[in-house]
């Protein structure tokens, strides 16, 4: 087992390895192959199947590639193209995390959003912007 690991490490020397673009290709490839199984009686299914495997093979080709500068440039281009969608998802994840811990209230006077930790019972909230106070359950 240890021998296998050493062999693999030696094999990967000078090769590019995994990056975000390869991970994306692998996940997309697996999803497309799975989708193709739902279309098994349809010629479109075969096309999906081949595309899915092509994506997986491309992922492995990139991982084992020795042309690291070219692979790195591809990954940078991928990250640049997906920047907006990736930040959108990480923002959504953040909002969900905050929602579990905090309750967001809106000041009845000036509409300022106020973040209050959950589970403190009935509390008086003072708006930091206009100093209006109001009672809420957190
Ligand atoms: Zn206010």
Q: Is the same domain home to 65 and 23?
A: yes
Distance 109 CA to ligand 1 centre (A): 5
Distance 24 CA to ligand 1 centre (A): 45
Q: What is the domain count for the chain?
A: 2
Q: Is the same domain home to 76 and 17?
A: yes
Closest CA to 132 of 106, 93, 96, 100: 106
Residues 6+ apart with CB under 8 A from 91: none
For the residues 9-15, what does the mean pLDDT come to? 92
Q: Is the same domain home to 13 and 73?
A: yes
Q: Is the same domain home to 61 and 103?
A: no
Q: Is the same domain home to 12 and 79?
A: yes
Question: pTM score > 0.75 for this model?
Answer: no
Q: For residue 113, what pLDDT band results from cuts at 50, 70 and 90?
A: very high
pLDDT at 65: 97
pLDDT at 41: 80
Q: Is the same domain home to 17 and 61?
A: yes
Asked if residue 136 lies in contact with residue 122, where contact means CB atoms within 8 angstroms, the answer is: yes
Domain span at 6:
2-84
């Amino acid at each position: 087992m240890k021998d296998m690991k050493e062999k693999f490490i030696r094999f990967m020397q000078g090769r590019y390895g995994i990056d975000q673009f390869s991970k994306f290709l692998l996940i997309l490839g697996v999803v497309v192959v799975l989708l193709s199984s739902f279309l098994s009686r349809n010629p479109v299914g075969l096309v999906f199947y081949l595309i899915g495997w092509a994506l997986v093979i491309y992922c492995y080709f990139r991982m084992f590639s020795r042309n690291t500068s070219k692979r790195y440039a591809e990954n940078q281009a991928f990250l640049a193209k997906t920047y907006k969608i990736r930040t959108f998802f990480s923002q959504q994840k953040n909002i969900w995390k905050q929602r579990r811990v905090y309750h967001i209230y809106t000041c009845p006077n000036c509409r300022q959003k106020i973040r209050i930790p959950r589970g403190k019972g009935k509390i008086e909230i003072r708006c930091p912007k206009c100093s209006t106070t109001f009672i809420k359950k957190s």
